Chains A and B, each alone.
Chain A
């Protein structure tokens, strides 16, 4: 059985290829895929197999060319088959026991969240850390020296009024302690223990008898920074706060000072930062009052310093769009779960 012309062989191959293309393009599921496999790639009587047999009838001189053509078509059909197979495995029309509805929910793995105030504190501490400020810690139940006297708040000062503080009587102590009303207490404690140069941030809970409302809570968080180094000026204060604000808000943020009054700083200022074209209050700041430096045994002629304080709730409320700061203490998981750390901690 010889005498199949090369042209006829080629025509047969091209027909095979065209039909394979057509058939495999129509494959929609495993079943039709299998039919197509048997028809074209079947080991016994698949059409490629038959075509291979036809190769033997081509005249000897044409055999190499015919062989090349056959191999090219075989590769093409196999590739088409593979494509069809892949399609059948993932195709939307192919829902069966083995395939999955990939839109079904995955096995849930729950992750928690840090409290939004913690996230805010960490962010502030992180930025200040890059500026060389180290986080320090101190007691929340304080004596009056650290909460008042050392901070230039004398006995007759209104800030010491019993109605404005949470006083705590401790049996073996002459004068009552109190829940600290500011984190500046920690600055005093650190300055008493260490010598300049000093860059610290004290942060944590503070307590003032405010009636709870959307912007007040009797317990809240403060972050206070302190830098004491020879030759420190308000220009350093402004530059540090500008670096902080720029990093916290993003972009090149300007800060401005408005004169204010705090017992433990002189001059004292309110700090505003420019945000979306408006000045918003950032916190209080000032140069450490010489009386405070003296109270901790520093020489105000040798060193100077600045201090600033930020209200964490206020920053967090603005950052996260929280209208009522009491929400921070309601601990409703539906609230807490909304605050995913952006990796800025």
Chain B
């Protein structure tokens, strides 16, 4: 709301501008700017949507009057005795959109330029002068906040007004001379042939006031906020009028504004006023009584305001006291303050006029100890590992484009959720995996010649629930994911996944040749996986094992598929993993229990096994571990080599490094030999291994 100080001075003695704007700022009207326009000063104030009363000079003047304790001067209106005439017909067909409509007729006006004072006041607030009639309607709107419209009565077919919903596709040319196609969400003012105005938004070109106009119909009406907004937004046609109707002007100003504009027209453009006023509908305006307990203000603000002062403030703002006792007072809000209808609203009025600077800023706050949630601790643990491993945390958009989503998700096949409008152009799919967007970030970083593009992100994916086991629960779930992308191959990514999991106390469990994880242990296992996101034969799913639970997918790891690399334009070899952190919150509550290290020396032995190519390392480990040997301290991969001539076709040699150590005694060479022999035998039995001399 731009305020002309010259204009404002009609209604209140204006204090020095800086004092005024500072005080208004602390009472709810933010000061945006002050500018000199000719001999006048324009002050731009930000008005929150609950205060349409301040969208007119009178409303701002009332605030100034209250804050500086000065009288408010509301201009008196004197209308000459009107001439009796046949009434113009006004019909409201859409009462939900237009509760009340009034029309005053003035005949024989002389349309022409406005006087200088009017032109200059409008110029200060940024409105160009059109002609005296149009300028007056704008002036009165900017005075009291009630939008008006003047029609050329001679152009209204049938001399009548109908307020109705627009017909779907109905054409309309506004006074900006643009053509619009309307919908039935919008309301129009029509004559008997066509729409002549878009209700509450803008008048029509065909009935606008021109120099040839002699008879004028002045519209002052109440329009409901929603259809006005639908029209203004639907057609991208906001106006000062729609802006005010969306917020709800003072119902009492409907009649005041009509009379005020009529009086100014008669004064500045001549003509003769006719009666009766054509009207239809009923003004919705009945403020309810508000009860304010005497102790309420202090209970909210934390500082007392004497009852006498509370009453002064409310009365100066236009609230009418109905009754008062020591315990409570009863009030009616003024018609222009429909945002005030509860006791708490009155408290706010008292507070903002009294000033929030009175609220103390140093009251004691009782201490309350809290603990971090499992999820918070988990996120901190994994982020710490990623950062220590040299990775930068990225934040990418939650919504991606369809071509990226088409690569699917490790977390289910249900269709992605789609948002309207798209988050950014082209991106309307809520992601089900972070991997593609993180890859995009990686490509962007590499393109920018960054020193590296090792990135991780911790964020949610958005999934539809597919099983209906919990019908009452939300139909959606949002797993928290940790995803990481790096230069390198499968083993680089697996090593990183393993160190993150190790930080959480989750070690790899060996999977037997039959695919069985022995023991009732908590840990993870890896097995091959097919996914469009990851390269075939170079990817694994990470399974989470917990005692008494069916193993479930905790993550995927592997080299990014060539197709996905191509899609995002990544030409560097990239590996990645993605983990579901929401499956892991339980680990944050682990308390480690010490296993005392053995104080006896260890014996290292390498065994060189020859096995079929298909035998996995995990199966060998599983076979060794199947001996249940307590002295097995460590088992590590020595090396793998292939030589068709020396080993046979389809065979490989696997060197297994064993470390044996007892907690009870120093192992003798003979004891070690016996234990190793047992392990070799287990490998023979489980995976068909032979010992290579």
Contact = CB atoms under 8 A, between A and B. Distances in A.
B356 A234 contact: yes
Interface string A40-64: 0000000000000000000000000
B363 A304 contact: no
Interface stretch (B300-308, B509-517, B535-543): B300-308
B441 A331 contact: yes
Nearest to A117: B395
9 contacts: A166-B423, A209-B421, A238-B356, A254-B361, A261-B49, A270-B30, A331-B395, A333-B448, A333-B455
Interface in A281-326: 287, 289-290, 304
Contacts of A173: 475
Contacts of A333: 392, 445, 448, 450-455
Contacts of B398: 140, 179, 205, 207, 219
Interface stretch (B315-323, B381-389, B602-610, B653-661): B381-389
B67 to A, nearest CB: 12
A258 B26 contact: yes
B476 A266 contact: no
B396 A135 contact: no
A92 interface: no
B35 interface: no
B395 A235 contact: no
A249 interface: no
Interface in B210-226: 225-226
Interface stretch (A18-26, A81-89, A126-134): A126-134
Interface in A214-251: 218-219, 231, 233-236, 238-240, 242-243
B11 interface: no
Given A234-B356, A258-B25, A331-B445, A266 B370 contact: no
Given A133-B370, A139-B476, A243-B365, A289 B344 contact: yes
B18 interface: no
Contact of A112 (B363, B392, B462): B392
A212 B423 CA distance: 10
The listed residue with most B CB atoms (<10 A of its CB), out of A141, A218, A233, A290, is A141
A82 to B, nearest CB: 41
Contacts of B225: 156, 158
Counting chain A residues whose Cβ lies within 8 A of the other chain, the interface size class is 35 or more
A179 B418 CA distance: 10
Interface of A: 109-115, 117-118, 129, 131-137, 139-141, 143, 156, 158, 161-163, 166-170, 172-173, 177-179, 197, 199, 205, 207, 209, 212, 218-219, 231, 233-236, 238-240, 242-243, 254-261, 266-270, 287, 289-290, 304, 328-334, 336-337
A155 to B, nearest CB: 9
B362 A134 contact: no
Contacts of A172: 475
B233 A163 contact: yes
Contacts of B53: none
B556 interface: no
Given A139-B476, A234-B302, A238-B361, A207 B396 contact: no
A222 B418 CA distance: 23
Given A143-B474, A332-B450, 5 more contacts: A115-B395, A132-B366, A135-B373, A236-B363, A238-B359
Contacts of B370: 129, 132-134, 199
Contacts of B566: none
Nearest to B339: A261
B360 A168 contact: no
A141 B418 CA distance: 11
